[in-house]
Amino acid sequence: MKAFGPVPSRRLGRSLGVNNIPPKVCTYSCVYCQLGRTTGMQVKRQTFYRPGELLRDVEEKVRSARGAGEAIDYLTFVPDGEPTLDLGLGRAIELLRPLGIKIAVLTNASLLWREDVREELMRADWV
């Protein structure tokens, strides 16, 4: 499942989650992570899912939520790993923008030293 929710968020209101990374692919293996130990620790960015595939999943969830009268305040990249490892992050943000919903990315900031990551995150409304 690449899109889930919407769920309540203390910071972002009603958030539709976007899962752009397979489970437990991360730059860290934090002892306090609610998802358990990282099984795919890496710092190399790669393509995990096609951005168009993410768009279709999100569009379907948005249609369903709107049809049920549910509000969506943010589309939030909050995967089961580190979202900036995805080479398609910037393109996915661009594809989601026409939906007219603000976009957030929750990151551990470990790849902010990379100019390409900073440029892609600048496309989001909230990081």
The pLDDT value given to residue 118 = 98
Helices 89-96, 51-67: axis angle to 10 degrees equals 40
Domain boundaries, the chain: 3-121
More confident residue, 66 or 1: 66
Q: What is the DSSP string of 7-38?
A: EEETTTEEEEEE--S-TTEES---TT-TT-S-
Pick the CATH number of 3-121 from 3.20.20.70, 2.160.10.10, 3.20.20.10, 3.40.50.2000: 3.20.20.70
pLDDT in tens, 7-45: 999 999 999 999 999 888 998 888 888 787 888 778 999
Tokens of 36: 């358990």
Span 46-103, pLDDT tens digits: 999 988 999 999 999 999 999 999 999 999 999 989 999 999 999 999 999 999 999 9
**Residue 19 amino acid letter:** N
